[in-house]
Structure 1
Amino acid sequence: MAKGLELTVKEVLGRDTFQDARLVAGAEGLSRPVKWTHILETKDFDLLINGGELILTTGSGLELDSANEETYQRLINKNAAGICIEKGEYFSELSTNIIELANQHKFPIIVFENLVKFVDITQDLHTSIINQHHQKLHELSELTTEFTHLSLSHNGILKILKKLHDYFRLPALFIADDSHSYYHPPEKKELEELIRRHVKTWKKDNLQRKTLTIADRSFAICPVIGLGQVWGYLCMEIVEFSIDDFFYSVLDRASLAIAQILLRDRTIEERKLKSEDELVRNLIQGKDYNRDDIQTFLTFSSSNLYYRVIVIKTEIPNFQMGEGDWEEMKLKRSMLIRTLFKQHGLFPAVSVRKHEIAVICSFISTEELKQDTTNFSKLINRIYTIDEKNILEGSQCQAGVSGVFKNIDDVGKHYEQAGEILQLAATISPTYFYDKAGIYRLLIQLKNSGELVQYIEDYLGPLLVHDSENDSNLLYTLTVYLECGCSKKEAAEKLYIVRQTLYHRLEKIEQLLKVDYTEAGNRLALETAIKAHQFLEFPDYHNRQENI
């Protein structure tokens, strides 16, 4: 294991100037770091000590020979590294209660059996501390250079973790914000799962280093920061290891190198996504595009390769977000959607806008199964259950799926199909698949041609006028009656009215429409007109339905 930046009490006891020294208490505190030495011969020392000093004294003026614990307790409270006392005129031995106090607080007490020169000890330790400091700075510089070189190599993150492990002899992990993780040695995967559960609950604006204790295991955690955001956490398990400034300095340099890798990968990914987005938009809008991009973003050509276009209506959590925040969300949304599609064996090309995600999806299928929607249904349902805060909330989404096509140049037409079924799915259609929309596919075409309003007027006009002028609901009565297969008993029960009232309404309907609506042809025409009216006037129709 690599030595830390600071000298320890144990290392001090091994030096030549401490040949006549004897540790009499606080043996468990030998790992305490010694930042400096201080010769102390006065009781008024509270303002003279900063913490971490190894105290050298003859005991003059400190009353160290008595059973009074006050001086020792004050040194402990000031976080002194320990105390070295010269045996002589002012000190002879420690009382039992002082030894117990030192052991309790792991505070080393060292006794010099013979006369020593404090100036020699001070010079020796200060020289050692300064030399060790310079040595560690040199090591830190070399490590920084090596981390930089590793960051430019293939699989750089894993190589940086291996270097950390080899240097400190401690398990090293990197837990990324996007569920990716790296760890070394390989058998330490369980540590990643252990830490991730805690990391997920942390606020992403917390940029501070910290220690974490889980199930009696301790970890040093250093956030990996890029563009002012936490992209993940560099973690090292600490087992009987004193964390010092040098340790965290190494972790900081390693985390910076990892951030450089992530930033470079992110830049490459953003460029790729921009090209992909441009391809999708060009195809949707019928503009020229680079044929080579089809192979890059939509897999290879094949005789059994088919396409669908999926349009997902989305919401943005915060409309006041800055452009940088939106670019971050855009990247994460694109990566999330791409991952979901690939998990279902589909090949997506994605374009993300603030209110819409458009996906050209290619898939391999036999001729017999190309219309099967099972896999796409599972995908859409999975999208609806996404709960990624500040990225995409599936409960706020609505999806529309186009029909199947084979010619990539037909993307524009099928994008319109997906948009049309998306509107239907938000109102009256029970499906988000264009090829399962039934009669609504015809109604869409009639609406686009301008014929639909006239068709409704021709078949339902008098009934709509009557309902409007008399605040009645004869159209709804007719709708329910036809849906019940012209069963008066069932229709009356569904409308919560007596059968005589239903007879009266049906008679009035027949007078207004001047047709036998039970005749097959008339019934089909009326049911189509009713569906068309629901299609065009759904909000109003829905409200009137609830007020019956």
Structure 2
Amino acid sequence: MLNENFTFTIKDVLKRPLFQDADVAAGHNGLLHPVQWVHILETPGGYSFLNGGELVLSTASGFGKDSRERLCYLRELIKKRAAGLCIELGSVIGEIPQDMIELAEQHDFPLIAFKKPVHFVNITMDLHETIMYRHIEAMRDLEKYSLDIQRLTLETQSIKKVLYNFHKFTNEQTFFINLDNSSLFIPEMSQSIEKDFVHSFKTSIPHTDISGQNKKTLSISEGEQILYQPIMAMGHALSYIGVILHDHDPDQFLYLSLDYTATSMAQILLRKMFAEERFIDNQHRILDDILQDKIKDKEHIQTLLGVKNKKDSPPSYLPIILEMKQGSDYYDQQTDSPFHDLIGIFRLVITRCGFRAFILSKGYRVYLLLIERDEGDNSDIRKKSKKVALELEKSCKKAFGAEVGIRLGIGRISCNYHQINLHFEEAEQMMRFPSESSTLLFDELGVYRLFIQNNTFALNSFINDYLGPILEYDAEHNSHLLLTLKVLLNSCSKQEAAEILYIRRQTLYQRLEKLKRMIGEDKFMPHNRLCLELAIHAYEWLNKPIH
């Protein structure tokens, strides 16, 4: 058992033969402080040699006669988190001064007095030998625990068995908290206490810690704290494991055993996730048939997807296509999918964002059909869908590296299940939208929805009919007539347009007359003005924005 084998406290030190004539003058509440090492320190200048956890031995020859110096000395030991201070009484200090007793009591810092002369070298050798022996024994126990937990991970899929093994090794109250499902406590506590603890824990952990990997501590009450660690997979916290500590701080061996246990649990949880994915292979085939328009009946599709109407209307759905690329080169679509190990993580992310997912992986593409789990309006779905997109991209970056590009296309939100394949076509069209754009949803594209259709010839013909002469003139004379036209169409007045272009109004009038001669005065009539604006948008879509 870890604590019995390793933790060596002030209380244990006092049981050693060399401490039979020692008295605790102050700091009785700190007798469970762990002793990591022994250090002799006579002068106030040696604090830099302390790392924390040392039992300090002194005759007080360097500080004992001056009240200010001895209090400064004691404060520094407390600040450096020393385990305690042993003072040999003698010619310098006949008894422990009251001011030191009061300060030590205030901080629960053990202050021990040797009433008879002692050999510090004997104490040092004895305690160091004991500490090293316990350290070696703890390392052996930790190695055995590591092997046991590895074997147990291969033999079982029971999180409870692993948690029980962890409790047995640490002799502490252990817990496993699943962010999405039930939690476990060993030993078990009352249902109300467990419920309150889980709620308090979930609200106490920082939001940024959901994807964090560091072990953390949280204070519960005076003398109680919890040490916890997220169980990580593919950069996401699947759940949390921890221990509740009473009247002592965690040591390095508890940290290591916690880490071993978290790793083992992560392997079990991933195996469970992969097993669940095998059960939903049928869902993949259903989504594939829908994408190929093999199933056309709305009610049949809803039945296959397990969708039921609520208030005479089915829940909304959202189609997403995710594709991996590197630089500007897309991977071969016939290559085996790299997303195999990420499907479970994708499903976890989508579930936490409030959707149910049907996922189909094809080569270096993933097709995701997100079905809303809770009732809500479309604006809320838009917000959640953008969060899903961000989390999916982050998961891919963590799995494949930041240099691998991820492209996302999201179709329109809909309740018409017989049109799923059409909305996936919209997501496909979104894949052709410029990657630098921040727009994610198809129905937010506005007029650009007309431009992403597969008819570039018609679009270029439209641009040439309305802007051809202007484009030719600008290219030949390195002028900015197209920019002038754009500003004119977007401005409320010619005065405003002139100010934006940093030219005089007379110059603007001259340019306007030249534009009318080039494309015809009728192009500026109200019924043609919209066509000019669309032509400029189309030109910017196919080329760089006009500045």
Show the counterpart of 2:167.
165
CA distance in structure 2 between the aligned counterparts of 1:257 and 1:23, rounded to whole angstroms: 44
| CA shift for structure 1 position 249 | 1.5
328 and 383 in structure 1: CA distance in 2 versus 1, 3 angstrom threshold: farther
Contact 1:309/1:401 (<8 A) preserved? no
Does residue 398 (structure 1) correspond to residue 413 (structure 2)? The answer is: yes
CA distance in structure 1 between the aligned counterparts of 2:170 and 2:218, rounded to whole angstroms: 18
CA distance in structure 2 between the aligned counterparts of 1:378 and 1:108, rounded to whole angstroms: 60
Show the counterpart of 2:34.
33
Contact 1:55/1:80 (<8 A) preserved? yes
84 and 340 in structure 1: CA distance in 2 versus 1, 3 angstrom threshold: closer
Contact 1:225/1:231 (<8 A) preserved? yes
398 and 331 in structure 1: CA distance in 2 versus 1, 3 angstrom threshold: farther
Q: Aligned with 1:23: secondary structure?
A: strand
- Gaps (5+ residues) in structure 2? 295-302, 307-313, 332-336, 391-409, 430-441, 444-529, 535-547
CA distance in structure 2 between the aligned counterparts of 1:376 and 1:18, rounded to whole angstroms: 67
CA distance in structure 1 between the aligned counterparts of 2:239 and 2:105, rounded to whole angstroms: 40
Q: How does 1:436-515 map onto structure 2 within 5 Å?
A: none
Show the counterpart of 1:219.
226
- Amino acid in structure 2 at the alignment position of 1:221: Y
CA distance in structure 1 between the aligned counterparts of 2:96 and 2:317, rounded to whole angstroms: 81
Contact 1:183/1:189 (<8 A) preserved? no
Show the counterpart of 2:198.
192
147 and 416 in structure 1: CA distance in 2 versus 1, 3 angstrom threshold: closer
Q: Aligned with 2:207: secondary structure?
A: coil
Spell out, residue by residue over 1:2-56, the C-alpha distance to the aligned partner (whole angstroms, 9 max, x if none): 3474421111011111111111112222122211112334444234433322122
Q: How does 1:58-97 map onto structure 2 within 5 Å?
A: 58-59=59-60, 61-64=61-64, 66-68=66-68, 69=70, 70-97=72-99
Contact 1:310/1:358 (<8 A) preserved? no
Spell out, residue by residue over 1:156-180, the C-alpha distance to the aligned partner (whole angstroms, 9 max, x if none): 2122222233444433222345456
- Amino acid in structure 1 at the alignment position of 2:121: V
- Amino acid in structure 2 at the alignment position of 1:129: I
Contact 1:352/1:358 (<8 A) preserved? no
Q: How does 1:114-133 map onto structure 2 within 5 Å?
A: 114-133=116-135
316 and 246 in structure 1: CA distance in 2 versus 1, 3 angstrom threshold: same
CA distance in structure 1 between the aligned counterparts of 2:23 and 2:102, rounded to whole angstroms: 17
Spell out, residue by residue over 1:424-445, the C-alpha distance to the aligned partner (whole angstroms, 9 max, x if none): xx99xxxxxxxxxxxxxxxxxx
Show the counterpart of 1:507.
none
- Amino acid in structure 2 at the alignment position of 1:75: L
Spell out, residue by residue over 1:343-397, the C-alpha distance to the aligned partner (whole angstroms, 9 max, x if none): 9xxxx965479796459x9xxxxxxxxxxxxx9996998994883764269x985
Show the counterpart of 2:139.
137
114 and 325 in structure 1: CA distance in 2 versus 1, 3 angstrom threshold: farther
Q: Aligned with 1:90: secondary structure?
A: coil
Does residue 245 (structure 1) correspond to residue 252 (structure 2)? The answer is: yes
280 and 133 in structure 1: CA distance in 2 versus 1, 3 angstrom threshold: same
Q: Aligned with 1:162: secondary structure?
A: helix
Q: Aligned with 2:227: secondary structure?
A: strand
Count of residue pairs brought into register by the alignment: 384
CA distance in structure 2 between the aligned counterparts of 1:55 and 1:416, rounded to whole angstroms: 75
CA distance in structure 2 between the aligned counterparts of 1:325 and 1:211, rounded to whole angstroms: 37
Spell out, residue by residue over 1:449-487, the C-alpha distance to the aligned partner (whole angstroms, 9 max, x if none): xxxxxxxxxxxxxxxxxxxxxxxxxxxxxxxxxxxxxxx
Q: How does 1:254-333 map onto structure 2 within 5 Å?
A: 254-270=261-277, 276-278=283-285, 280-282=287-289, 284-285=291-292, 312-314=318-320, 331=344
Show the counterpart of 1:9.
10
Show the counterpart of 2:537.
none
6 and 166 in structure 1: CA distance in 2 versus 1, 3 angstrom threshold: closer
280 and 18 in structure 1: CA distance in 2 versus 1, 3 angstrom threshold: same
| CA shift for structure 1 position 242 | 2.4
| CA shift for structure 1 position 240 | 2.3
CA distance in structure 2 between the aligned counterparts of 1:237 and 1:286, rounded to whole angstroms: 55
Bigger shift: 276-285 or 188-197?
276-285
Show the counterpart of 1:51.
52
CA distance in structure 2 between the aligned counterparts of 1:236 and 1:63, rounded to whole angstroms: 41
| CA shift for structure 1 position 82 | 1.7
Contact 1:311/1:356 (<8 A) preserved? no
CA distance in structure 1 between the aligned counterparts of 2:20 and 2:216, rounded to whole angstroms: 39
CA distance in structure 2 between the aligned counterparts of 1:129 and 1:159, rounded to whole angstroms: 32
Q: Aligned with 1:220: secondary structure?
A: strand
Q: Aligned with 2:64: secondary structure?
A: coil
Show the counterpart of 1:208.
214
Does residue 24 (structure 1) correspond to residue 25 (structure 2)? The answer is: yes
316 and 105 in structure 1: CA distance in 2 versus 1, 3 angstrom threshold: same
Q: Aligned with 1:222: secondary structure?
A: strand
Contact 1:311/1:358 (<8 A) preserved? yes
389 and 310 in structure 1: CA distance in 2 versus 1, 3 angstrom threshold: closer
Show the counterpart of 1:387.
384
CA distance in structure 2 between the aligned counterparts of 1:246 and 1:235, rounded to whole angstroms: 14
Q: Aligned with 1:152: secondary structure?
A: helix
402 and 97 in structure 1: CA distance in 2 versus 1, 3 angstrom threshold: closer
189 and 328 in structure 1: CA distance in 2 versus 1, 3 angstrom threshold: farther
Q: Aligned with 1:234: secondary structure?
A: strand
CA distance in structure 2 between the aligned counterparts of 1:17 and 1:44, rounded to whole angstroms: 28
Q: Aligned with 1:235: secondary structure?
A: strand
CA distance in structure 1 between the aligned counterparts of 2:38 and 2:221, rounded to whole angstroms: 38
Q: Aligned with 2:39: secondary structure?
A: strand
CA distance in structure 1 between the aligned counterparts of 2:210 and 2:354, rounded to whole angstroms: 27
| CA shift for structure 1 position 100 | 0.6
Spell out, residue by residue over 1:484-520, the C-alpha distance to the aligned partner (whole angstroms, 9 max, x if none): xxxxxxxxxxxxxxxxxxxxxxxxxxxxxxxxxxxxx
C-alpha RMSD of matched pairs (Å): 4.8
- Amino acid in structure 2 at the alignment position of 1:206: G
CA distance in structure 2 between the aligned counterparts of 1:339 and 1:76, rounded to whole angstroms: 45
388 and 260 in structure 1: CA distance in 2 versus 1, 3 angstrom threshold: farther
- Amino acid in structure 2 at the alignment position of 1:55: V
Does residue 236 (structure 1) correspond to residue 243 (structure 2)? The answer is: yes
Contact 1:5/1:132 (<8 A) preserved? yes
